[in-house]
Chains A and B, each alone.
Chain A
Amino acid sequence: MSEYDNISNEIRELAAKLLARGEVDVVIGYKPTALPGRTQPAFAYKPEDAREFVFNPLCVSGLPLYLTKAKPEISAKDRIAIVAKGCDVKNIVALQRENQIRREKIKVIGVVCKGVVGKYGRCDGKTEPKPEDLDEKCRYCDVNTPRDYDYLIGEKIESSPQSKEKEFEEINRIEKLSPRERWKFWEEHFKRCIKCYACSKVCPLCYCNRCIVDKTMPRWIDPSSHARGNLAWNIIRAQHLAGRCTGCGECERSCPMDIPLMLLNKKLERESEELFGYRSGYNPHDPIPLAVFREEDDDEFVR
């Protein structure tokens, strides 16, 4: 029995117990798919449904999406239990901070995670993925043990301290380029965008009932997938997540054209930490940086 079998068994037992006792209406977790090497979100409404739950390094998708308005068929349930890795818990905290969920109605089944497999990484799902197969976010993970949970599964581990240098290596490299070179870099990437909006559909923090791109009176973002419309869309998506993004990497993972969206998100994450002093996903009582202000905020850039 591998470590992940034990974790899977514990999740199944706990989910079945919660459902049998009637403590929750639905448990959100992962189950294997018909395709090997993948998992998909699973919902257990009855104790026997919990049998199919698994947890392994192939459990990449972020489940907190199902707690938001974007998925009303699940999030409308009164009491929900959710299997969450450290990064998912960060999203739950961010949703709590934005009053999108009521934490007391949600039972978080925290799972100790040693990293999941990357978009193009390979993993059999039984053992930990090799370092080169790990997802980008997992290389700099500081929440291997979730920071907030009701039940914890797996043995607590300490996250190894990460160097900011390495984490922001690529961003620092791009910042050193000239504006024209940076423009070229992004033009190449945004040129490929097909405006499928997967990046916003999969983001747990993009929960607006009606997105700005869907508004037509006036239409601010050109819906056609030419260069200008793509640029406007990608900039505004990043801007709307400024100071809110927790860095779960779902947008980049789901992007069919491999646009490095996390560079934009991480850049803004760092800026909002430097400018306003908040990091999203760590404290549910922090304000949202762009929704509040301090009189002594920096205005060096204003003449």
Chain B
Amino acid sequence: MKKYFFKSVQISVFRVIRVPYLWLKNMSEQSENKKNESNGEWEPKIIAFVCNWCTYVGADMAGTGRMKYQANVRIIKVPCTGRIDPLFLMRAFERGADGILVSGCHPGDCHYNAGNYHARRRFAAFRKLIEFIGIDLRRLQFSWVSAAEGKKFVTIINEVTDAIRALGPCKEYQSMALEPPKDKVMPE
């Protein structure tokens, strides 16, 4: 029993690191195709990092209940909001996200008892930091959505999408150079 438990933990840890990374890696390519499909009209790109036990199930519920929400959101499932490193959010912005939603269990409901409490502290500090850097805080939103709150999930996705649509593309980030400035490169 114990042996299997550790094995499964090992596999899931690997997947947990690997999956969001690959998702984010492929995102920019996917989005290019999307843009062409919609006749060149800009559509906000929103990444939702949701926890496996509450918000993902809530989103599932919205699906089984045939509720409709705007199709701009890409959901990335993580085991717990406590798993979300600020680096995930930075990478999402780097790869072209216009807005990010982080959503997990309500305080006290965490499957791992305290993951969301830790996440709450981490992001309380992190959002102050990126606000100071100059990212509009409407682009990084947080919510608690339980497994039973399919309706709330739909409302939040729609609200976040509308907010980002009003803000426009995250131009500052996307226009950032991916090459070092010329004067920094060594002459050949």
Binding site for B on A (CB under 8 A): 171, 174-175, 179-187, 191, 194, 212, 218, 220-222, 224-228, 231-232, 235-236, 238-239, 242-243, 264, 267-268, 271-272, 275-276, 289-295, 297-299, 301-303
Contact of B127 with A301 in the complex, beta carbons under 8 Å? yes
Contact with A along B70-89 (1 / 0, CB 8 A): 00000000000000011100
B11 on the A face (CB < 8 A): no
Binding site for A on B (CB under 8 A): 17-18, 21, 85-87, 90-91, 94, 107-108, 114, 117-118, 120-136, 141-144, 156, 172-173, 176-181, 184
Contact of A268 with B176 in the complex, beta carbons under 8 Å? no
Q: Tell me which residues across on chain B come within 8 A of A183, comparing CB atoms.
A: 133-135, 172
Q: Tell me which residues across on chain B come within 8 A of A225, comparing CB atoms.
A: 180, 184
CA of A219 to CA of B179, assembled, Å: 17
Chain A CB count within 10 A is highest, among B17, B21, B87, B114, for B87
- Shortest Cβ distance from residue A189 to the other chain B in the assembled complex, whole angstroms: 10
Contact of A185 with B134 in the complex, beta carbons under 8 Å? yes
- Shortest Cβ distance from residue A271 to the other chain B in the assembled complex, whole angstroms: 5
CA of A222 to CA of B91, assembled, Å: 10
Contact of B176 with A298 in the complex, beta carbons under 8 Å? no
Given A236-B87, A301-B142, residue A226 in contact with residue B134 (CB < 8 A): no
Given A183-B135, A227-B176, residue A218 in contact with residue B21 (CB < 8 A): yes
CA of A291 to CA of B114, assembled, Å: 11
Given A179-B135, A179-B136, residue A232 in contact with residue B87 (CB < 8 A): yes
Contact of A218 with B129 in the complex, beta carbons under 8 Å? no
- Shortest Cβ distance from residue B80 to the other chain A in the assembled complex, whole angstroms: 14
Q: CB < 8 Å: which of A175, A184, A243, A299 contacts B120?
A: A299
Give B85's nearest chain A residue, CB to CB.
A220
Contact of B128 with A267 in the complex, beta carbons under 8 Å? yes
Nearest 7 Cβ contacts at the A-B interface: A183-B134, A182-B134, A293-B117, A218-B21, A303-B143, A227-B176, A302-B142
Give B136's nearest chain A residue, CB to CB.
A179
- Shortest Cβ distance from residue B163 to the other chain A in the assembled complex, whole angstroms: 11
Q: Tell me which residues across on chain B come within 8 A of A292, comparing CB atoms.
A: 121
- Shortest Cβ distance from residue B5 to the other chain A in the assembled complex, whole angstroms: 24
Q: Tell me which residues across on chain A come within 8 A of B120, comparing CB atoms.
A: 293, 297, 299, 302
30 CB-based A-B contacts, threshold 8 Å: A174-B132, A175-B132, A179-B136, A182-B132, A183-B133, A186-B134, A187-B172, A187-B176, A221-B87, A225-B184, A226-B181, A227-B177, A228-B177, A232-B87, A235-B130, A239-B86, A239-B129, A264-B129, A264-B132, A271-B125, A291-B118, A293-B114, A294-B117, A295-B107, A297-B121, A299-B120, A301-B123, A301-B142, A302-B142, A303-B143
- Shortest Cβ distance from residue B182 to the other chain A in the assembled complex, whole angstroms: 11
Q: CB < 8 Å: which of B21, B134, B144 contacts A180?
A: B134
Q: Tell me which residues across on chain A come within 8 A of B136, comparing CB atoms.
A: 179
Give B139's nearest chain A residue, CB to CB.
A179
List 19 additional A-B contacts (Cβ < 8 Å) besides A226-B177, A228-B178, A232-B90: A171-B132, A179-B136, A182-B133, A187-B134, A187-B172, A225-B180, A226-B176, A227-B178, A236-B87, A236-B90, A239-B126, A276-B121, A290-B121, A293-B118, A294-B117, A297-B121, A302-B120, A302-B142, A303-B141
Q: CB < 8 Å: which of A180, A231, A272 contacts B125?
A: A272
Contact of B18 with A218 in the complex, beta carbons under 8 Å? yes
Contact of A267 with B129 in the complex, beta carbons under 8 Å? yes
Give A303's nearest chain B residue, CB to CB.
B143
CA of A157 to CA of B134, assembled, Å: 41
Contact of A297 with B124 in the complex, beta carbons under 8 Å? yes
Give A194's nearest chain B residue, CB to CB.
B184
Give A219's nearest chain B residue, CB to CB.
B21
Give B175's nearest chain A residue, CB to CB.
A227
Contact of B125 with A275 in the complex, beta carbons under 8 Å? yes
Contact of A184 with B134 in the complex, beta carbons under 8 Å? yes
Contact of B129 with A268 in the complex, beta carbons under 8 Å? yes
CA of A130 to CA of B67, assembled, Å: 69
